[in-house]
Structure 1
Amino acid sequence: MPFLAEAARRGVLRRNGAVYQFRHERLREHLAGAGGVRRLE
Structure 2
Amino acid sequence: MLSQNEFINRLSWENKRQNNLIIFGLKKTTSQGFKRFK
What is the TM-score of this pair, normalised by structure 2?
0.32
Q: Is the radius of gyration larger for structure 1 or structure 2? A: 2
Higher relative contact order (CA 8 A, sep 6+): 1
Structure 1 or 2: larger strand share? 1
Q: TM-score, normalised by structure 1?
A: 0.30
